Amino acid sequence: MASITKQASGKWRALVRRKGQVISETFIRWDSARQWATEMEALIDSGQTPIGKRSRPVTTFAELIDLHLQDMAAIGRAPGQTKVDQLNRLRRELGSTRITALDRLKLIDYGRKRAAKGVSPGTLNGDIGAIKLVVSHAAAVQGMRVAVDQVDLARIALKRLGLVGKGAERGRRPTEEELTRIISYLEARPTMKLPAARIVKFALATAMRLDEIFRVTWGDLSEKEKLLTIRDRKDPRLKKGNDQQIPLLSLTGFDALALINEQRPEHPHPEGRIFPYWKRSATAAFFRACAKLSIEDLHFHDLRHEGTSRLFEAGLSIQQVALVTGHKDWKMLQRYTHLKASSLHLHVAPPRYSATAQQA
């Protein structure tokens, strides 16, 4: 079915995608756009060549990716930045492959090459899943003749070869000494425009994702209620509109609200971001600190794991922690939780034995 959208100029753009053909035109009137789209669909259905200055057949995997992104954007479900980055990489590596050549052997060869570069089974499994998503979308939505079964066969083969599988659950928790050293190192660099130490503390205090930290604004803060609204929070079912209020606590060794207030003298603008910096600068600063201090195998995202674990160790229930982290169920939350056995001593009271039992 054709889609007709109004452009900023006030004109109407008709876009027809049918049987592997993509054609679009712009019109002043909506009814003209509708009539043209109907005529083009009829031409394509009858096997004739559609008329339009932007008519083109879809022949490559890159064009399938474009179709998928356009269709999802048209219904308000555009993929997030992580998914877009993944698709852009697939476009670079497989984009020139003709649809007819995107078969089992091609994908197995792609998997072998990725694995040879050190890509983990979990990451490669995600890549194959993204390819399956794009190809199946073309078949189901566009009615294109694409070999969805070839992707399934390639996944089976790569799994048998041990090249795809579930991602290993990461259990790395920084020690108290490591965190102290990192924070001290970052605080000792006053020339750094980025308040990296404060951002590290805030990540531990809130268990927020990196992009969430750099997205929240002063307008999202309710200081009286000690609440912060995170807009469009990551969710496998919702791409937009998944707003969540989280409590600003001080249970992990750092006070989230106090850290926000430390930003006020530097960035008091009521409509601006609380942390108006480039998120990659934070990861770069964190990486440099770890390298300088010889702290191995520690990522910025591990701070979210650490903050989550500390909330459990502070005595919060699964439901209470989920209100902070945004996880929908225990299985998802468990991946971010790596409790220390010693923390149980903080919550388990010693048993009370009777005098008789003690004498026995």
**Could you report the average pLDDT of every consecutive run of 10 residues in the chain (360 residues)?**
82 84 81 83 76 63 90 80 90 94 96 93 93 93 86 96 80 92 91 88 96 94 95 70 90 96 78 89 94 94 92 89 84 64 55 47
Q: Indicate if 292 and 181 belong to the same structural domain.
A: yes
Answer yes or no: is 109 within a domain: yes
pLDDT at residue number 236: 57
pLDDT at residue number 190: 65
Q: Indicate if 180 and 309 belong to the same structural domain.
A: yes
**Domain end point (choices 37, 57, 77):** 57
State the CB neighbour count (10 A cutoff) for residue 335: 14
Q: Indicate if 209 and 91 belong to the same structural domain.
A: no
What token pair was written down for 211? 């992009």
Answer yes or no: is 95 within a domain: yes
Q: Indicate if 27 and 74 belong to the same structural domain.
A: no
Q: Indicate if 11 and 67 belong to the same structural domain.
A: no
Q: Indicate if 74 and 121 belong to the same structural domain.
A: yes
Report DSSP state, residue 343.
G
C-alpha to C-alpha distance for 347 and 145, rounded to whole angstroms: 60
Give Cα separations from 176 to 179, 259, 310, 315 (angstroms): 5, 19, 12, 19
Residue 246 forms beta bridges with which residues? 228
**Domain end point (choices 57, 77, 94):** 57
Answer yes or no: is 140 within a domain: yes
Q: Indicate if 336 and 200 belong to the same structural domain.
A: yes
Answer yes or no: is 351 within a domain: no
Q: Indicate if 127 and 231 belong to the same structural domain.
A: no
Answer yes or no: is 165 within a domain: no
Q: Report yes or no on whether pTM surpasses 0.75.
A: no
Q: Indicate if 251 and 339 belong to the same structural domain.
A: yes
Overall number of domains in the chain = 3
Residue 226's contacts (CB-CB under 8 Å, 6 or more residues apart) are 247, 248, 257
C-alpha to C-alpha distance for 100 and 94, rounded to whole angstroms: 13
DSSP per residue over 232-259, as a string? Answer: T---SS-SS---EEEE----SSS-HHHH
Q: How many helices (H) and strands (E) does the chain have?
A: 15, 7
What token pair was written down for 168? 């290993």
354 three-state secondary structure:
coil
Q: Indicate if 91 and 186 belong to the same structural domain.
A: no
Answer yes or no: is 171 within a domain: no
* CATH number of the domain that residue 91 is part of: 1.10.150
State the CB neighbour count (10 A cutoff) for residue 279: 17
C-alpha to C-alpha distance for 80 and 85, rounded to whole angstroms: 9
H/E segment holding residue 22: strand 21-27
Structural domain of 41:
3-57
Q: Indicate if 300 and 183 belong to the same structural domain.
A: yes
Q: Indicate if 224 and 313 belong to the same structural domain.
A: yes
* CATH number of the domain that residue 295 is part of: 1.10.443.10
Answer yes or no: is 311 within a domain: yes
Answer yes or no: is 213 within a domain: yes
